[in-house]
Structure 1
Amino acid sequence: MRAVVAEQFRKPMELMDVPVPEIGADDILVRPSACGICRTDWHVWNGDWVWGGLKLPLPITLGHEIGGVVDRVGANVKRLKPGMRVCVPFNFGDGDCPYCRKGLSNLCDNPAWGFTTPGSGGFAQLAKVPNADFNCIELPANVTEKDAAALGCRYMTSFRAVRTRSEVQGGETVVVVGAGGVGRSAVEIASALGALVVAIDTKDSALEAAKAVGANHAINSSGLTPEEVRESLDTLIGSRGADVAIDAMGGQNSTLTALHTLAKGGRLCVAGLTTQDDKGAITLPVDLMVFREWSLVGTLGNPHADYPELLRLVDSGKLQPGRLITEEVALADVQGVFDRLPTFETEGFVVVTDFN
């Protein structure tokens, strides 16, 4: 089969012929119809997040936002059949640890990731899903494989950030810092839940895209301090501040910017990870957090148990992850898209749909 292979960190990946992944009795092979090119793929190829314990085995095929069709199944697989249309969440669980048993598979004690598991990468004509009855999710009738690719990481991460971790309610004010894939997803979801949404980014094109999916207001934060961003927010919505802030970027500046937008008692949810600049550690104004009773939570992916609600909302048309797709490419184009990611030259979701 054909697959895009990363053999070294930060060295160009190549499209080549590789063996079809072998599957065990509990596994399946999926034939991707669509696979998103996520910034997370670029980060691990760049060697990021080793400070958090993430180790990338090389060589490997990346790609972890997969929508496709079941091609073959192992002998023990009961729920899935060849020909079923499925979504493959990037965060695989063992299904048996205490977290998986209570519906928090995203926090599995024995996790595997779609972008670190050999044979499971979606930049290929076939991808292996381990422990498939637990880790693969059938798609409803009105959810396409391209929808599934759009929601396989960034969108479902935003869904958990907005719906569960931040507990956004209708009528609340939500600030989203960073209007890339995660940010635009958060904007659409918060807007669908009835929130007033303010998008913050340094690119006017990203802010216009955020408004197209539901942002009520937009602030260009280029050259502004977190305190100056707060002043701009006060001009737009009044001086009370936001009930919820979603940091969709990660890192010192974006986290502080999000924090300073909050009203007293406000909730900050961090959905983005840091880069080589911060290496996992930032400085927070703890005294202000005490004086203003700000709370801060992190969010990681989306547990499998929460997919039914997410897919019902997509199936009904209330959420539309597919409309965030701005570009469709072929396997041969993956490295070219990676080359554009460091300078934020991509817009929205870029998705592989040609696997020839």
Structure 2
Amino acid sequence: MRAAVFTDYGEPLDVREVDDPEPDPHGAVVAVEACGVCRSDWHAWQGDWEWRGLDPVPGHILGHEPAGHVVAVGEEVTGVSEGDHVAVPFNLGDGSCHLCRTGHSNICENREALGLQPSAPGAFAEQVPVPHADHNLVTLPEGVSSVDMAGLGCRFMTAFHGLAHRADVGAGDWFVVHGCGGVGLSAVQIADALGANVIGVDLMDDKLDFAEAQGAVETVNAGDVEDPAAEVRAITDGGADVSMDALGIETTCRNAIGSLGKTGQHVQVGLTTKEAGGTLPLPTDEMVTAEIDFLGALGMPPERYDEIFRMVATGKLDPAAIITERIGLEEVSGVLDDMTDFETVGIPVIDDFDG
């Protein structure tokens, strides 16, 4: 099969023929019809997460937002069949640990990160192996395309989990997201569907325009104001109810927390670069005295995808609206390079794997 193979940090991926994967006894192989290119791929490509064990080695295949059809299943698989149309979550659980059994499989004790570590080859390829297929594969509804669902594996469902399950976003609440990339724009659309008044904050006007198209009622260009957090507090007459940092850098995280009113909730989905090494300084005294909640959100349990699908079926959510570019395998390196300077808008999706 053809795959875009990692060679070294920051170097172009090598598009070449590699061996087809074989399913484990409990696994399956999915023919990839579409795969999003995510900033998490960029982090791994840059070597940002070596300290977390998410360190690609030469020959590894990145890519963690695939959708496609099952082409092979292992002998122990009972719930998935060849020909099933599926999405693959990036946070692969084993389905049997305590966390999986209690509805938290996205943080499985034995979790593997699809495409982001050597033990879990990814989906910048014509086929991708998926362990514990009965647990991890999510059957897609009829009538949706793999391209339309490609962002579900990471960005869209992470934003949904953060807002629908971790935070308490309700009708009329003010929600602000700092960073309007793929996950930030997903959060805008989702928070709007949940009834919130949404504010998008970014440095680029084209991303803010996109945020307005997804339901933001206000936007703030952080480069045009002295204090973006104060601007949000002014718009909301005292502070937002819920904030999100979608980038994982000190400035956006502190601004997001600073945007909140008392008893507000902050959702952290952006992960740090190697310079920060997983640690960001926070205004803890202010968080204590204002009783701010700090919530992390990592992916989403696959058994809850149906919540998204029901909202898609009724037109409340439209993940496809955030997809902005369809590319071939040969173009992935260029997209990753563009992410270095935040030049991508929305979600780029690979849908051409054979050149």
Q: What TM bracket, shorter-length normalisation? A: over 0.9
SS of 1:82's partner is: coil
- 2:229 maps to 230
Name the count of aligned residue pairs: 353
2-structure distance, mates of 1:98, 1:223 = 48
2-structure distance, mates of 1:325, 1:314 = 15
1-structure distance, mates of 2:294, 2:233 = 21
Unaligned runs of 5+ in 2: none
Residues 279 and 319 (structure 1), Cα distance of their counterparts in 2 relative to 1, 3 Å cut: same
- The Cα of 1:223 is off from its aligned counterpart by 6.1
When normalised by structure 2's length, the TM-score is 0.96
- 2:34 maps to 34
Amino acid at match of 1:187: V
When normalised by structure 1's length, the TM-score is 0.96
- Residues 133-161 of structure 1 deviation map (CA, whole Å, 9 limit, x = unaligned): 11101001133212221111011110011
8 Å contact kept, 1:173–1:195: yes
8 Å contact kept, 1:175–1:198: yes
- 1:212 maps to 213
SS of 1:128's partner is: strand
- 1:114 maps to 114
- Residues 56-115 of structure 1 deviation map (CA, whole Å, 9 limit, x = unaligned): 343211111001011111122111111111000001001111000101111111111111
- 1:92 maps to 92
8 Å contact kept, 1:179–1:248: yes
SS of 1:162's partner is: helix
- Mean CA deviation greater in 138-147 or 256-265: 138-147
- The Cα of 1:118 is off from its aligned counterpart by 4.9
1-structure distance, mates of 2:284, 2:246 = 21
1-structure distance, mates of 2:206, 2:321 = 16
- Residues 23-59 of structure 1 deviation map (CA, whole Å, 9 limit, x = unaligned): 2221111111110011111111111122334333432
- 2:320 maps to 322
- 1:300 maps to 298
- 1:140 maps to 141
Amino acid at match of 1:170: A
- 2:25 maps to 25
- 1:52 maps to 52
- 2:243 maps to 245
Aligned pairs (5 A) from 1:181-220 = 181-220=182-221
2-structure distance, mates of 1:288, 1:273 = 22
8 Å contact kept, 1:6–1:61: yes
Q: 4+ residue stretches of structure 1 with deviation over 6 A? A: none
Select which of 246, 252, 255 maps to 1:254: 252
Aligned pairs (5 A) from 1:326-341 = 326-341=324-339
SS of 2:12's partner is: coil
- 1:152 maps to 153
- Mean CA deviation greater in 185-194 or 22-31: 22-31
- Mean CA deviation greater in 228-237 or 180-189: 228-237
**In angstroms, what is the RMSD of aligned CA positions?**
1.4
Q: State the identity as a percent.
A: 42
Residues 336 and 273 (structure 1), Cα distance of their counterparts in 2 relative to 1, 3 Å cut: same
8 Å contact kept, 2:73–2:81: yes
Unaligned runs of 5+ in 1: none
- 1:9 maps to 9
SS of 2:154's partner is: helix
- Residues 187-242 of structure 1 deviation map (CA, whole Å, 9 limit, x = unaligned): 000000000001011111100000000000000001655xx21332244332x210
1-structure distance, mates of 2:333, 2:322 = 21
Residues 205 and 37 (structure 1), Cα distance of their counterparts in 2 relative to 1, 3 Å cut: same
SS of 1:351's partner is: strand
SS of 2:109's partner is: coil
Aligned pairs (5 A) from 1:284-295 = 284-295=282-293
Residues 111 and 332 (structure 1), Cα distance of their counterparts in 2 relative to 1, 3 Å cut: same
2-structure distance, mates of 1:273, 1:233 = 23
Select which of 280, 283, 289 maps to 1:282: 280
